[in-house]
Structure 1
Amino acid sequence: MDPLVSIVVRCYNEEEHIGRLLSGIVEQTIANETEIIVVDSGSTDATVSIASRFPTNIITIDPDEFSFGRALNIGCEEASGKFIVAASAHVYPVYEDWLERLIAPFDNPQVALTYGKQRGNEVTKYAEHQVFAQWFPDESNYDQDHPFCNNANAAIRRALWEKMPYNEKLTGLEDLDWAKRAMERGYNIAYVADAPIIHVHDEEPSQIFNRYRREAIAMKRIFPRQSFTLWDFFNLFISNAVKDSLSAFRDGVLSYTFRDILIFRLMQFWGTYKGFRQSGEVNSRLKKRYFYPGRDFDTDEGVGRDSKRRIDYSERQKEHANFYV
């Protein structure tokens, strides 16, 4: 019997995080209706070894072949579930009913894609906590009027993916591109606030810059009429840095977050500006720089709900790893 849900996890050198994600998946209320597909793009650490201790189907692809869309398409080709969940290897669910709630909006046949709330942890930069709170609010919206979504925590209908696979040429935002095309076909996008995950980002400034640059390159291809000028850079950098600083001041943490706020917002918007300035096709050398920039976030404030179905990760990862060996 085919599973209800296929979870596709893309990874590269994620030994620090992937075990916790897989532990969270096998704790889900519908774990017995779920299959896990891990698409690894050339990890040189213990990522594959850790993933192999869990009930996973591991697919290895050449790093030279990698794009976010291609890795997802390869995973989706192996999927047999009615719904496909995309999860980054450096996220983990907060509650045992994460999957159950993430796919609930599919009761409406017009819903093509759902995505859940994201929050950071104690290593997350203060400004990125602000980004998460802005992009992933506390209220759900099962019929949003824009294509924003995020494949760190999202689900789609496999039948629709078969007609409309992910764009493999984009340097990022393959999720937004897919959602845009689904909406153009008359489908709905649903945001599920009560399906939260913790997204673990602990990036150097150059990695933040690289992430936003490659996403801006993709944004320009998805929305060719959009622009991002030097004025936009200065305006957004200053306004967001001021807003973050005021919030940090109210929280009593400005003295030790101010520098990080400035660096994060500078890298975010300078990377965006440089991405929009990029012209021509992205060659293989640049692709490696965008996708493998070295090496390559846990407070869970704002995830909401009570602790009744919360997953305890203190011993779960070790127990599951030993059980599935």
Structure 2
Amino acid sequence: MSFPYSFGRQLGGAHCHCSEQRIFAKYFPEQAGNGQKDFFCNNANAALCYRDWQRLRFNEDLTGLEDMELAQRLVREGGAVIYVPEAAVYHYHQESWPQIQRRFEREAIALQRIMPHIHVSALDALRYIASSVARDLASAHRAGTLASHALDILRYRWQQYLDVYKGNHEHRKLSHAEKEKYFFPE
């Protein structure tokens, strides 16, 4: 018998990127049941019964999103993931731009293994960049911080979705190389 994998709300603080604060607001809203689905989970603020942890453990072969993959297996077994917004924490990445770039690419590679049916095309990435930038800029404008956050918003969303696209296609490059090695005559 599995017990719930619970996770709490995450907030970005004053030194958090404007775009990242909007990501937190999307995935960690003030109300439970307001966007959380299936096996979405984040271990930066989570709890899992020790017995389930011993049995399931994180998949160490993944490049990220190990929390979601564990939750996916738990849900497949009949377990549940529960969001507890009252259990809020501040979450800071404090990453350089290359670290941000690598994080999004690693997570996209992992998501491809967790949910192989998800494919992000170049057109998808451009559409995501445009819509996210527009919404982030509008949010910054409403907050009166547009002038100080505009370039950061552009760079953050560009890095995010360019690297999501790259990571989502990494398995295809590896698959092509393996296919050529196997099928192409010497």
Shorter chain as denominator, the TM-score bin is: 0.7 to 0.9
CA distance in 2, matches of 1:160, 1:205: 36
Determine helix, strand or coil for the equivalent of 2:86.
strand
Determine helix, strand or coil for the equivalent of 1:176.
helix
Alignment of 1:179-198 (within 5 A): 179-198=71-90
Determine helix, strand or coil for the equivalent of 1:203.
coil
Q: Going by fraction, where is strand more abundant, 1 or 2?
A: 1
Give the aligned residue type for 2:121: T
Listed one character per residue, the Cα deviations across residues 122-175 of structure 1 (whole Å, up to 9, x for unaligned) are: 111111111111110001249x54111111111111111222222110000000
Query: Of 232, 241, 263, which residue of structure 1 is paired with 2:155?
Result: 263
Tell me what 2:182 maps to: none
Tell me what 2:54 maps to: 162
Tell me what 1:119 maps to: 11
Alignment of 1:70-219 (within 5 A): 111-141=3-33, 145-219=37-111
Identity %: 36
Listed one character per residue, the Cα deviations across residues 187-219 of structure 1 (whole Å, up to 9, x for unaligned) are: 111001011111122222211111000000000
| CA apart distance, 1:257 | 0.4
Query: Of 140, 143, 165, which residue of structure 2 is paired with 1:251?
Result: 143
Give the aligned residue type for 1:232: D
CA distance in 2, matches of 1:268, 1:118: 19
Residue 229 (str. 1) matches residue 121 (str. 2) = yes
Say whether the 8 Å CA contact 1:141–1:192 is kept in structure 2. Answer: no
| CA apart distance, 1:110 | 5.8
Say whether the 8 Å CA contact 1:183–1:189 is kept in structure 2. Answer: yes
Alignment of 1:29-68 (within 5 A): none
Q: Which runs of 5+ in 1 are unaligned?
A: 1-108, 282-325
Tell me what 1:307 maps to: none
Determine helix, strand or coil for the equivalent of 2:4.
strand
Tell me what 1:16 maps to: none
Residue 240 (str. 1) matches residue 123 (str. 2) = no
Determine helix, strand or coil for the equivalent of 1:197.
strand
Aligned pairs, number: 172
Determine helix, strand or coil for the equivalent of 1:227.
coil
CA distance in 2, matches of 1:231, 1:146: 27
Structure with bigger RCO (C-alpha 8 Å, 6+ apart) = 2
Give the aligned residue type for 1:198: Y
Q: Which runs of 5+ in 2 are unaligned?
A: 176-186
* Normalised TM-score (structure 2): 0.87
| CA apart distance, 1:263 | 0.5
Task: Give the CA RMSD over aligned residues.
Answer: 1.7
CA distance in 2, matches of 1:166, 1:130: 27
